[in-house]
A and B are shown apart, each in its own frame.
Chain A
């Protein structure tokens, strides 16, 4: 493979067999888009009957899916998803092979696909994330014809809209749909909330199959995805397992360490200069990052300050803040609990947005470029502030690119909260195993054993100093961690590339190497 060094010093290929040419990452906003959006075939609206087909199998046949084509799904059913496995099983039984699987993300429940990967039914995968046994196998072996292509949420939307990623058939699960294909995710027993990750597929796939376990009388309202984009409708008994989809409400962490980190992060936000009337905010979903929302709310209650919009994904907690008037609106790509689904269903200022609206750098506007304050996670961060959220310290894929690099590119204040040590591994390292977000997009690292500000952010560092917040260099944090843990030996890795990491503009920012 011919490799080149990109703008952050990572070695990436220029050409990959079965995938084609790639450009190396050249900077956050280095790429200027050209061309038009991908055009889909014009169909005739059925004049009699409806679009309902009796089974998934029938829909695969009707779609004209052949070997070598690309199929897609959304990941809003999270680990309760049943659709991907159902569809791929049927595809296999029909003798179709060499399929490119292009879901918005994959969960550990999709480890059931491994036999189909090994047998060649699926020969390529592009996704935002991988988890569980599937991820472990794909990091240790090369059963596919090409490396997995990892895309951010915004990058996937961009690739689909530009035609770079051509979807032949999109199978889109909905918890409620009508016989003409109008669908939503807010009604029904398998309700999951926002269909944000399905909207781009619905608009640009050549053929769209709506799959539901809840056919409702026409028209299905709200119309999150309209009948004008849907070719066929299939009703199945069960589209997802509610227990795996989401909990009733996301509980705020009670872990004292996470709460301490959150409290420190809150002090940083207050002193940052961005905590002003009408500020917009993206909360995290777990650990310290959601607790920050709670502490900010307490501060807002004391001072009378009010925020603007909340973006990204929604949890019951931020929805409550909307209902109480702390936020002016929620722009939502993904609901994380049933309380959020309820809010989306009922509150007029809680609205769905597509992954493109959220994060596509080549759209006319995306909220990722408008947001003020953002909470981010990290599995690793290096002394150049590059962040990894895809692989763990053992080099095995276990997370997702998600909206991390998208929001970090455009948001004004980018805070990473993380414990300094995770299971004996320092999270601050010389070089992260895989870069998802480049260092120039990260402003502050907040850990329980210290706070570090990116040297590129001199004004911010000064404001924190004025507020009496002690900060240290990131090298100092690394030293503090290694003093406790000892320095780990390098990870045994092979030269083989098991995954390519596309930056949001389609260039290659890094790779994942096979773990031995």
Chain B
């Protein structure tokens, strides 16, 4: 059984028609239509209307559709959710989540809107962005606060500000927070997503950042430009050796199931549940990555 991949989550400014129309071309795993930071205060209504109609009209292929809504304490929060739920985005992304109460409150409001729209409860999922010291401290509690929650992401810029430090290239100031988000997410069985990398011209720097994120256990990376998407997919691509080994594990597992044997062994090593699951993930990613070479934009 394969789970949805969230290697790349591409931010698209919610008030920009041309970018919305082309977002799916680059095949990100997820598209985040942004009603929050990317939209000026006096254009929130225009962006909301545009995004709702885009969701109703456009074919985004296999991309997961997320909308980053305005924060709970802004005047736009309620209107965003009310307008968006009937348009059925896959996920609503909430920024600056600091406590489980933020999620529970949002969850209930979505529930109300789903009922009003005649949608099954739980149709619209949630994603929480953790961007402050308080949020990081509460990460584990946030991660289990709602069955709607499918991922939590980490936002470095606001976080660094909240701990009164400055960002560096090596990023030691982020290390604990990043790991805390990963741990909280993995313990809850949901996806941790790493922060954006704003310098779109620094491709080697971005690639190194994505490798580090992958190593820390992040399921994916937020992207701010289409050319970052292919790089993320390339970093997350399993090597042909890994794919070969994974396929052997899955074949052995299928064989054991069929024969009813209890213990599975591949190359003299015992293979148990987690190893089979990992092998499945590897094969899924390889399949999603397509034919061999990455097409780097």
- Seen from chain A, the residues whose Cβ lies within 8 Å of a Cβ on chain B are 256-257, 259-260, 263-264, 266-267, 448-449, 467-469, 483-484
What would be 15 A-B contacts, judged by CB atoms less than 8 Å apart?
Answer: A256-B226, A256-B227, A257-B25, A257-B226, A259-B227, A259-B297, A260-B25, A260-B26, A260-B226, A264-B295, A267-B293, A448-B22, A449-B25, A467-B291, A484-B21
Question: Is B59 in the interface zone, CB < 8 Å from A?
Answer: yes
User: A448 CA to B25 CA in the complex, in Å?
Assistant: 6
> Please, which residue of chain B has its CB at the minimum distance from the CB of A258?
B297
Question: 9 nearest interchain CB pairs?
Answer: A256-B226, A468-B291, A263-B295, A259-B297, A448-B25, A260-B297, A256-B297, A256-B227, A257-B22
Q: A256-B26, A263-B295, A449-B25 are in contact. Are A483 and B226 (CB under 8 A)?
A: no
Question: Is B290 in the interface zone, CB < 8 Å from A?
Answer: yes
User: A469 CA to B296 CA in the complex, in Å?
Assistant: 16
State how many residues of chain B have any CB contact under 8 Å with chain A. 15
> Please, which residue of chain A has its CB at the minimum distance from the CB of B59?
A483
Question: Is B225 in the interface zone, CB < 8 Å from A?
Answer: yes
What 0/1 readout, one digit per residue, does chain B (219-254) give for beta carbons within 8 Å of chain A? 000000111000000000000000000000000000
User: A469 CA to B290 CA in the complex, in Å?
Assistant: 10
User: A448 CA to B291 CA in the complex, in Å?
Assistant: 18
Q: A256-B26, A448-B22 are in contact. Are A468 and B290 (CB under 8 A)?
A: yes
Residues of B within 8 A of A259 (CB): 227, 297
- Seen from chain B, the residues whose Cβ lies within 8 Å of a Cβ on chain A are 21-22, 25-26, 58-59, 225-227, 290-291, 293, 295-297
Residues of A within 8 A of B26 (CB): 256, 260
Given contacts A267-B293, A467-B291, A483-B59, could you give 11 more A-B pairs where the C-beta distance is less than 8 Å?
A256-B22, A256-B226, A257-B22, A259-B297, A260-B226, A260-B295, A263-B297, A264-B295, A448-B25, A468-B290, A469-B291
> Please, which residue of chain B has its CB at the minimum distance from the CB of A480?
B59
Shortest distance from the beta carbon of A198 to any chain B beta carbon, whole Å: 40
Residues of A within 8 A of B293 (CB): 267
Across chains A and B, the number of contacting residue pairs, with CB separation under 8 Å, is 33
Residues of A within 8 A of B290 (CB): 468
Shortest distance from the beta carbon of A157 to any chain B beta carbon, whole Å: 39
- Centre residue among B25, B225, B291 by max chain A CB count within 10 A: B25
User: A394 CA to B58 CA in the complex, in Å?
Assistant: 26
Residues of A within 8 A of B295 (CB): 260, 263-264, 266-267
Residues of B within 8 A of A467 (CB): 291
> Please, which residue of chain B has its CB at the minimum distance from the CB of A259?
B297
User: A257 CA to B27 CA in the complex, in Å?
Assistant: 12
Shortest distance from the beta carbon of A256 to any chain B beta carbon, whole Å: 4
Residues of A within 8 A of B58 (CB): 484
Residues of B within 8 A of A256 (CB): 22, 26, 225-227, 297
- Centre residue among B21, B225, B295, B297 by max chain A CB count within 10 A: B297
Shortest distance from the beta carbon of B204 to any chain A beta carbon, whole Å: 15
User: A500 CA to B226 CA in the complex, in Å?
Assistant: 43
Shortest distance from the beta carbon of A139 to any chain B beta carbon, whole Å: 28
Shortest distance from the beta carbon of B78 to any chain A beta carbon, whole Å: 32
User: A483 CA to B227 CA in the complex, in Å?
Assistant: 26
User: A67 CA to B297 CA in the complex, in Å?
Assistant: 56
- Contact call A263/B25, Cβ cutoff below 8 A: no
- Centre residue among A256, A266, A468 by max chain B CB count within 10 A: A256
User: A467 CA to B293 CA in the complex, in Å?
Assistant: 11
Residues of A within 8 A of B59 (CB): 483
Residues of A within 8 A of B226 (CB): 256-257, 260
User: A453 CA to B113 CA in the complex, in Å?
Assistant: 47
User: A266 CA to B230 CA in the complex, in Å?
Assistant: 15
Shortest distance from the beta carbon of A419 to any chain B beta carbon, whole Å: 9
Shortest distance from the beta carbon of B96 to any chain A beta carbon, whole Å: 29
Shortest distance from the beta carbon of B279 to any chain A beta carbon, whole Å: 23
User: A267 CA to B290 CA in the complex, in Å?
Assistant: 13
User: A334 CA to B59 CA in the complex, in Å?
Assistant: 43
User: A483 CA to B59 CA in the complex, in Å?
Assistant: 9
Shortest distance from the beta carbon of A351 to any chain B beta carbon, whole Å: 34
Residues of B within 8 A of A484 (CB): 21, 58
Name the contact of A263 in the complex, choosing from B21, B225, B296 (C-beta under 8 A). Answer: B296
Shortest distance from the beta carbon of B231 to any chain A beta carbon, whole Å: 12
Residues of A within 8 A of B296 (CB): 263
Residues of B within 8 A of A266 (CB): 295
- Centre residue among A257, A260, A264 by max chain B CB count within 10 A: A260
Shortest distance from the beta carbon of B63 to any chain A beta carbon, whole Å: 14
User: A260 CA to B290 CA in the complex, in Å?
Assistant: 16
User: A448 CA to B26 CA in the complex, in Å?
Assistant: 9
Shortest distance from the beta carbon of B2 to any chain A beta carbon, whole Å: 20
User: A388 CA to B22 CA in the complex, in Å?
Assistant: 24
User: A50 CA to B283 CA in the complex, in Å?
Assistant: 80
Residues of A within 8 A of B227 (CB): 256, 259
Residues of B within 8 A of A483 (CB): 59
Residues of B within 8 A of A267 (CB): 293, 295
Shortest distance from the beta carbon of B199 to any chain A beta carbon, whole Å: 14
Shortest distance from the beta carbon of B24 to any chain A beta carbon, whole Å: 9
Shortest distance from the beta carbon of B236 to any chain A beta carbon, whole Å: 18
> Please, which residue of chain B has its CB at the minimum distance from the CB of A484?
B21
